[in-house]
């Protein structure tokens, strides 16, 4: 784990105050994206709000919120699309907000997504600020906002909610709040299957801290100033709190998967059968590799193939950079699992960019590079990326869009 984890952080302004510029910048980027989407959609005779709240997975979430589980679609080829594939936390929040306000389920999903995206931006800032300072935190948030498929952050999808829970769980690990880390990991596990990445991060950090503490306890202290063990937060929390956090972490994902298995009568692994009905599975990246190779059969599609190869190479390079710069083990494990599940799944390939969206630690090296640039240069780069992301998001949602 990184030496950054044990550095002493001097007293500073409250976290929310430090995060305010990043949150304002994030809101501006998202507002730009929504404005461009509205104009583009109007020009094509479409409703931008419908694209954000009532298409693709948004419909499945609102149907769960309104009617509960049990709905499925049987396709002519024999595939069965069951709403059991969708984890329950977002529909639960939609149902709660609908019960407390005049909002429809779709409206509630949009509001939850907007609030969750701000919480995610704040969590990303908190992690980056903790490790590298507020300037890097500022650019980490902006880079997350200007991802090519960043418009999903404003859709009634679960990506923003999951990223918020994951980021704050990782921050809780870095600051030694183990029970909070475990509880947030459990909620992340109720949001998306990739919640396993947050669970793995909490368990990795917890085991490392316990092992380090055990070794230190049996090693004579030769320097009076040696800090107490405990990992990222400096002095270690009581072991029972770390163990409690680790025990809490998998409860969300495990609970839902076991419930699905019981409901379907297929046993503990019944959720995998549900995913198989959607043609989703984990094949180590074989199907994705075949898809990429298939792009090189003709000249126009070969350009797309080269773009996919370059994109995967960039992701690998960023992850290696994170390892070389000694990011904390919790972040490396979390990012590694998100990458593995996104790139090595046999799901619809057009969904992979949004599945990678929660892997925000990959942006930290780029954010650090921007933070070291002169302000005019950094502002020009981020403004250009924001404009490109807004245009691409409008084009994407008015075309094939997310599956």
Terminal-to-terminal C-alpha distance of the chain:
38
Residue 110 lies in a domain: yes
Residue 262 lies in a domain: yes
Residue 346 lies in a domain: no
Count the neighbouring beta carbons within 10 Å of the beta carbon of residue 276. 14
With 60 as the cut, is the pLDDT of residue 188 above it?
A: yes
Euclidean distance between CA atoms 7 and 330, whole angstroms:
17
Residue 331 lies in a domain: no
pTM (whole model) above 0.85: yes
Cα radius of gyration (the chain)? 22
Residue 318 lies in a domain: no
Residue 153, token pair as written in the block: 């952050």
Residue 95's domain comprises 13-279+375-397
Euclidean distance between CA atoms 182 and 169, whole angstroms:
7
Residue with tokens 């595939």: 79
Residue 301 lies in a domain: no
CA atoms within 13 A of residue 342's CA, in its CB half-sphere = 23
Which tens digit of pLDDT belongs to each residue from 208-230? 999 988 887 766 554 444 433 33
Residue 353, token pair as written in the block: 């960019």
Helical residues (DSSP H) of 249-374, grouped into ranges = 251-264, 270-277, 286-294, 299-324, 329-343, 352-355, 364-371
Which tens digit of pLDDT belongs to each residue from 251-303? 999 999 999 999 999 888 899 999 999 988 888 888 888 888 888 888 788 88
Name the domain count of the chain.
1
197-218 burial code (b ≥16 CB/10 A, e <16): bbbbbbbbbbebbbeebeeeee
Residue 299 lies in a domain: no
The pLDDT confidence band at residue 8, using thresholds 50, 70 and 90, is very low
With 90 as the cut, is the pLDDT of residue 403 above it?
A: no
Which tens digit of pLDDT belongs to each residue from 94-125? 999 999 999 999 999 999 999 999 999 999 99
Q: Please give the average per-residue pLDDT across 135-144, as a whole number.
A: 98
Residue 324, token pair as written in the block: 């070389």
Asked if 153 and 159 touch (Cβ cutoff 8 Å), the reply is yes
Residue percentage of the chain with pLDDT more than 70 = 92
The pLDDT confidence band at residue 236, using thresholds 50, 70 and 90, is low
Largest CA distance in the chain: 74
φ, ψ (nearest 5 deg) of residue 400: -70, -40
φ, ψ (nearest 5 deg) of residue 74: -100, 120
Asked if 31 and 150 touch (Cβ cutoff 8 Å), the reply is no
**Per-residue pLDDT at 218:** 65
Euclidean distance between CA atoms 92 and 70, whole angstroms:
15
Helical residues (DSSP H) of 175-298, grouped into ranges = 178-189, 195-217, 239-248, 251-264, 270-277, 286-294
Asked if 233 and 130 touch (Cβ cutoff 8 Å), the reply is no
Residue 351 lies in a domain: no
Provide the β-strand partners of residue 282: 345
């Amino acid at each position: 784990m990184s030496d950054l984890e044990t550095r002493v952080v001097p007293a500073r302004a409250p976290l929310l105050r430090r995060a305010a510029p990043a949150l304002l910048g994030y809101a501006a980027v998202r507002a730009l994206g929504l404005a461009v989407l509205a104009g583009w959609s109007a020009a094509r005779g479409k409703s931008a709000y419908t694209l954000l709240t009532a298409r693709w997975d948004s419909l499945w979430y609102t149907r769960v919120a309104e009617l509960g589980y049990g709905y499925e679609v049987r396709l002519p080829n024999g595939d069965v699309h069951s709403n059991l594939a969708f984890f329950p936390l977002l529909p639960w929040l939609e149902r709660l907000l609908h019960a407390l306000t005049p909002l429809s389920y779709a409206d509630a999903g949009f509001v939850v997504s907007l609030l969750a995206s701000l919480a995610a931006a704040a969590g990303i800032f908190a992690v980056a600020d903790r490790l590298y300072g507020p300037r890097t935190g500022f650019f980490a948030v902006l880079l997350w906002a200007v991802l090519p498929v960043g418009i999903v952050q404003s859709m009634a999808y679960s990506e923003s909610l999951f990223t918020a829970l994951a980021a704050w769980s990782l921050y809780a690990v870095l600051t030694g709040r183990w029970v909070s880390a475990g509880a947030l990991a459990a909620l992340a596990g109720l949001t998306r299957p990739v919640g396993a990445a947050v669970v793995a991060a909490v368990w990795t950090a917890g085991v490392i801290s316990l092992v380090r503490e055990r070794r230190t306890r049996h090693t004579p202290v030769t320097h009076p100033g040696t800090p107490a063990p405990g990992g990222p937060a400096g002095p270690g929390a009581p072991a029972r709190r770390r163990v409690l956090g680790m025990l809490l972490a998998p409860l969300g994902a495990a609970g839902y998967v076991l419930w699905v298995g019981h409901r379907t009568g297929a046993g503990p692994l019944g959720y995998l059968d549900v995913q198989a009905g959607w043609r989703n599975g984990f094949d180590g990246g074989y199907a994705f590799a075949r898809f990429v190779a298939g792009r090189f059969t003709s000249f126009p599609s070969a350009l797309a193939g080269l773009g996919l190869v370059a994109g995967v190479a960039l992701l690998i390079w960023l992850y290696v950079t994170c390892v070389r710069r000694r990011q904390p083990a919790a972040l490396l494990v979390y990012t590694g699992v998100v990458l593995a599940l996104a790139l090595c799944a046999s799901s619809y390939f057009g969904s992979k960019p949004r599945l990678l969206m929660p892997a925000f630690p990959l942006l930290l090296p780029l954010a650090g590079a921007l933070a070291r640039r002169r302000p005019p240069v950094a502002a020009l780069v981020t403004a250009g990326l924001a404009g490109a992301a807004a245009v691409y998001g409008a084009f994407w949602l008015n075309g094939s869009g997310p599956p």
